[in-house]
Chains A and B, each alone.
Chain A
């Protein structure tokens, strides 16, 4: 419009005034310093901005989910098929079966397979290590090796035909690699054990805290230690482990304060003076209060409230202590 001679002169004049205008009475250097200070102070976002941030993060989250679904679906399907084949024990099929024959075979075997045999797909990485130690659990592995060996050696003198079993075993291998890089659930911290012993459906019907205590009396603490030692370098970073432990402890405060206390103490030992210390110590104090060990809680709360007087957790600790003392 500005450079269009057909536009009226007054329109172009107004636009030209807008183009020429500068905010010259603002000190941008001071503004920049203020901006840096605002960021350093961790100033909260204005309310209107939350929609901007959440919209952008939601859209990226959705796209990430779509990508994960698109990539994960074929891998997961291949892994399901492979595990079904293995679980039915029919692993000696010819390596050069046609895709159609394999499909028929899979559909036939899937109808015969028990539902719980599909479980290996959902096994956490640490569990797979644990299972390998148990004699019953490794029974499938030689079969898998035999399957791979058969697929890796095509008949001599012939071009390597399409080998669906090989493709499946490769997919399974990549799927298990993916699982190895995944993280254990918080429920492992909550129950204090891995999820390999019982199927998920069965576990959900039981009283979780009681179960965890019963299981701990058996050989589970030792096994848990082994699993954690093995899985630590492979699976999760210390940061993730710490946050998960803390989240589990926080969640167990009401239902199983004993376990929450144990997790908080363990966190204090493993991650002293980390960025979650403030939150973890408050969980520890609350757990003590919930266990009616109010005197101990008061002893710890004193220095805690001095260290973090303005913390939102401090407020929670004060309330809990006051309530406990009233009840006492």
Chain B
């Protein structure tokens, strides 16, 4: 568990302490938005084992870009634009190479004294399903959807951050919602069936 001062971190959608017209260099961006970028990268499909490398790449690029300058894009959407490219490139690279990754489910369900094991398992299960549902979206829709639905970013800010038209962002969000809903329903049905079968098998064994 990190001992990073949590108070100093601003998670997405809570950057109200950002004073108007404030320029943020990459170190300051890291200090404030690294948790957001890390979480966003995971939702974009970056493996946990690669998270650190990709995270560092994102902030290195932010540094070379001169940090964040105030504009229509918020720091979160500005970083999300870079993180989106980093994540898609990373995933594409992994499609052509074979790496041995740890089983995320086992790692996530490993005993943790700080959390209730039952809650943790349930949370991990939902996250796994969420990830599967997000996998049903293409990268563009996925980015807009994650920023809007999970981090509460406005579509205007997302469009500015990604450098796309506001109408395009709305269109992607609408399509992403439809696809996500359908994927979630399918996964839910499947899970229900599996759990029923598991229960049924358990009853039969008993």
A: which residues have CB within 8 A of B? 1-2, 7-8, 10-11, 13-29, 31-32, 34-36, 38-39, 43, 45-46, 48-49, 51-53, 56
Contacts and interface: CB of A to CB of B under 8 A. Distances in A.
Given A29-B4, A38-B60, A1 B85 contact: no
Interface residues of B, number: 47
B150 A31 contact: no
Given A31-B34, A52-B61, A23 B126 contact: no
27 contacts: A7-B181, A8-B181, A10-B185, A10-B188, A11-B185, A14-B133, A15-B130, A17-B129, A18-B127, A21-B39, A21-B42, A23-B39, A24-B1, A27-B2, A28-B2, A28-B4, A31-B52, A32-B31, A35-B56, A39-B60, A43-B60, A45-B64, A48-B85, A48-B89, A49-B60, A52-B82, A53-B64
B68 interface: no
Given A21-B39, A49-B85, A14 B126 contact: yes
B26 interface: yes
Interface string B7-24: 001000000000000000
Contact of A36 (B27, B82, B126): B27
A26 B133 CA distance: 25
Contacts of B133: 14
Closest 4 CB pairs of A and B: A17-B126, A28-B4, A48-B89, A23-B38
Which among A7, A11, A13 has the greatest number of chain B C-beta atoms within 10 A? A11
A24 B2 contact: yes
B63 interface: yes
Given A14-B129, A17-B126, 20 more contacts: A1-B149, A7-B181, A8-B181, A11-B181, A11-B184, A17-B123, A20-B123, A21-B42, A22-B35, A23-B39, A27-B4, A31-B55, A35-B56, A35-B60, A35-B63, A38-B60, A48-B86, A49-B61, A52-B85, A56-B65
Contacts of B39: 21-23
A32 B34 contact: yes
